[in-house]
Homo-oligomer: A and B are copies of this chain.
Amino acid sequence: MDDASDSRPGIRERIIDAAAQLLKEHGTSAVTTRAVAVAAGVQPPAIYRLFGDKDGLLEAVAEHVMTTYVEAKAGIVDAAAAAGVDPLDDLRAGWETQLEFGLANPDVFRLLSEPSRVLNSPSAAAGRRVLEKRIRRVAESGRLRVSEQRALGLVQAGGVGAVQTLLATPADQRDPGLGEAMFEAVLAQILADAPARGADDTVAATVAFRAIAPSLTALTASERQLMTDWLDRALAAK
């Protein structure tokens, strides 16, 4: 019945919750063994009895957050497979969930992205398995034009990179369409049937002109400034 790790009143859970909350609300540096201990109402040694060391605690936190977050994902995957939802819509839903999660929980996301942790972490493996299922469904539909491994890597890299790039940009300067653009880039690379993106000549011409506009000496500085502002606005609207 009861696992050995489950003592009585869920002390383990209390510690994990306290650590997760501390991590989410006050950042990585606030997650100290003592702070977690007092927040959970236990003594520092309890952490070491239950998790071995601090890294074990962080791994448990990662697994907890990941599970909480992935359970929905996994449920959606299964439900989608059963309901016959388009695998691509399913993949896109997962992508958006991951981006939202990453932007909402930067510290937890960083924790889950650390290569040293990902390499030997059961929770990371679980997360990857969910993504593998989604990729597999796309593959089974016959629309993949690269290996599943390649597709998996591209989706993973695109997601991690997009989140990290957005997090590394001041919130007011972020490109809100970056995530979707990256997803489309990955899709176009792994799908057999080309999404047939319309070759938009106007955008290309606008971008090219935007690049050389600052060198138009026939205009005044303020005119150039105003014009580039308009151009950026026009491009952002695309």
Which chain B residue lies CB-closest to A121?
B168
A48 within 8 A of B: no
Whether B148 lies near A211 (C-beta < 8 A) is yes
Contacts of A181 in B (CB 8 A): 146, 150, 153-154, 189
Contacts of A140 in B (CB 8 A): 208, 211-212
- Please measure, in the bound complex, the distance between the C-alpha atom of A168 and the C-alpha atom of B127, giving whole angstroms: 13
Whether A206 lies near B212 (C-beta < 8 A) is yes
Q: Find the residue from A139, A159, A217 having the highest chain B CB count within 10 A.
A: A139
Which chain B residue lies CB-closest to A164?
B160
A100 within 8 A of B: no
A→B interface (CB under 8 Å): 106, 110, 113-115, 118-119, 124, 136, 139-150, 153-154, 156-162, 164-165, 167-170, 175, 177-178, 181-182, 184-186, 188-189, 192-194, 196, 199-212, 215-219, 223, 227, 230, 232-238
Q: How many copies does the complex hold?
A: 2
Determine the main DSSP class of A at the interface with B. Answer: helix
Contacts of A230 in B (CB 8 A): 219, 223, 227
Contacts of A145 in B (CB 8 A): 199-200, 203-204, 207
Contacts of A141 in B (CB 8 A): 208
Which chain B residue lies CB-closest to A214?
B136
Q: 10 tightest CB-CB pairs across the interface, nearest first?
A: A161-B161, A209-B209, A139-B211, A157-B161, A185-B189, A218-B237, A142-B208, A157-B165, A118-B168, A115-B167
